[in-house]
Structure 1
Amino acid sequence: MRSELPAVILAGLLIAMPALGIALFGDAAYTALRYDNLAMTAGEWWRGLTGHWVHLGREHLVLNMLSLAILTLLVGPWLGPAGMLLTAPLAAIGISAAFWLLHPELFWYAGLSGVTAALWAAGAIRGFRGGSWFAALVLLALVAKLAADFFTTAPVSVSQLIGGPVVIQAHLYGALAGVCIGLLLPRPG
């Protein structure tokens, strides 16, 4: 697994690059690419994918990039580079489908946190399937994080920091997508 670490880090960078590139174009890119259910109804279906790589501002982007970096190092070796590169877009599509079907009142969304939850879950599931008991602890940490999301209110400071509300459903749907993906990927080793 350690020999695969450079490829895993490269996969993490490839997942991050669209977000970093989009950020260079500022508000115009945000408006054109965020998840927006009214625009999607009008045929702009790509927003179901691109909305996960746009951010509300620099602080939001930095927080999501830090999460991605930590998860790349923590669960990336269990997923491998191909698993990471498969999980990210599939999870984005799954999260957006859940928004579309279950939350029509959610008019817009932006951010990579749902996708990072998917990577977290898929990696931990795959690690556990490969025999790592530490992966079970990593999965329990995700369950605790999701419970905290749903049973406590997000500090106002987080919403102020990122420039908008925290959409905790993205974390849940990302984790569920990640579990499914982690179970469908071939058993490691």
Structure 2
Amino acid sequence: MLNLPVQPRYLLPPLFLMLLSVTFATFDLNDLLEFNRDLVNQGELWRVFSSQFVHANWAHLALNCGGIILIWLLHGEHTSPKRYAINISLLALWCGLGVYWFCPSIYIYTGLSALLHGVIIWGAVKDTTLELKSGYLLFIGVWLKIIFEQLNGPNADIGKLINSTVAIDAHLIGAIGGTLLAAPLLVNYIKNKN
């Protein structure tokens, strides 16, 4: 029998994240919230953060909701609502700023995938601190995916599905952010082992 993290404290944060993105899609708020480099340069700074929660289309949103569900299945019980909100908020800001500073060729950006790469890395590190070997495998697997994308470019099939170019550099930024966000977990784990 599966032991899913269905208690409200584990279930409500990912549901809220999906509901937020679905609401933005339903009301077609991309023009107001997406990362648009020209508009950010003109002072619409909220777009750096808000762009993480809007999507190119419904297929794009569905893929990211699938990622939210997968992360909930893997790590839902590892985080409180407060920790979940902090991780999502910090990674959204990190990813948006990273796209702005390090990806000058990206003029329009939307989607949760960058920050989800960070969240899954954080969860993998949390797994390792709980002595779960799957955490090591997941951490290595995500980084291998990132390296594969960097060497081979974005997945063309996914790009067709979402009618947009997959922002693989944003995925890298998200994974770096998740690694940095998880560093204190690892430091505490090592200190407590010694």
Under a length normalisation based on structure 1, what TM-score does the superposition of the two structures give?
0.89
Partner of 2:22: 20
Alpha-carbon distance between aligned partners in 2 of 1:137 and 1:100, rounded to the nearest angstrom:
31
Alpha-carbon distance between aligned partners in 2 of 1:102 and 1:11, rounded to the nearest angstrom:
30
Alpha-carbon distance between aligned partners in 1 of 2:169 and 2:43, rounded to the nearest angstrom:
24
CA contact (8 A) 2:125 2:185 kept: no
Q: Which amino acid aligns with 1:25?
A: F
Query: Pairwise mapping of residues 85-164 of structure 1 onto structure 2 (< 5 A)?
Result: 85-164=85-164
Partner of 1:76: 76
> Counterpart of 2:79 in 1: which secondary structure?
helix
Alpha-carbon distance between aligned partners in 1 of 2:143 and 2:170, rounded to the nearest angstrom:
14
CA contact (8 A) 1:79 1:127 kept: no
Alpha-carbon distance between aligned partners in 1 of 2:169 and 2:77, rounded to the nearest angstrom:
27
Alpha-carbon distance between aligned partners in 2 of 1:145 and 1:130, rounded to the nearest angstrom:
24
Q: Which amino acid aligns with 1:112?
A: L
Per-residue CA deviation, residues 136-168 of structure 1 (Å, 9 max, x unaligned), is 111111112112211223342211100110000
> Counterpart of 1:131 in 2: which secondary structure?
coil
Question: CA shift at 1:120, angstroms?
Answer: 0.2
Alpha-carbon distance between aligned partners in 2 of 1:69 and 1:45, rounded to the nearest angstrom:
29
Rg (Cα) greater in structure: 2
Q: Which amino acid aligns with 1:171?
A: H
Q: Which amino acid aligns with 2:27?
A: F
Question: CA shift at 1:79, angstroms?
Answer: 3.4
Tell me how large the CA RMSD over aligned residues is. Answer: 2.1
Q: Identity over aligned residues, as a percent?
A: 22
Per-residue CA deviation, residues 60-112 of structure 1 (Å, 9 max, x unaligned), is 11011011111111123233433222111110110111122222221110001
Alpha-carbon distance between aligned partners in 2 of 1:170 and 1:16, rounded to the nearest angstrom:
20
CA contact (8 A) 2:103 2:169 kept: no
Does the alignment pair 1:63 with 2:63? yes
Per-residue CA deviation, residues 30-82 of structure 1 (Å, 9 max, x unaligned), is 11110112111111111111101110111111011011111111123233433
Under a length normalisation based on structure 2, what TM-score does the superposition of the two structures give?
0.87
Alpha-carbon distance between aligned partners in 1 of 2:82 and 2:175, rounded to the nearest angstrom:
18
What stretches of structure 2 of length at least 5 have no aligned partner? none
Partner of 1:168: 168
What stretches of structure 1 of length at least 5 have no aligned partner? none
CA contact (8 A) 2:33 2:51 kept: yes
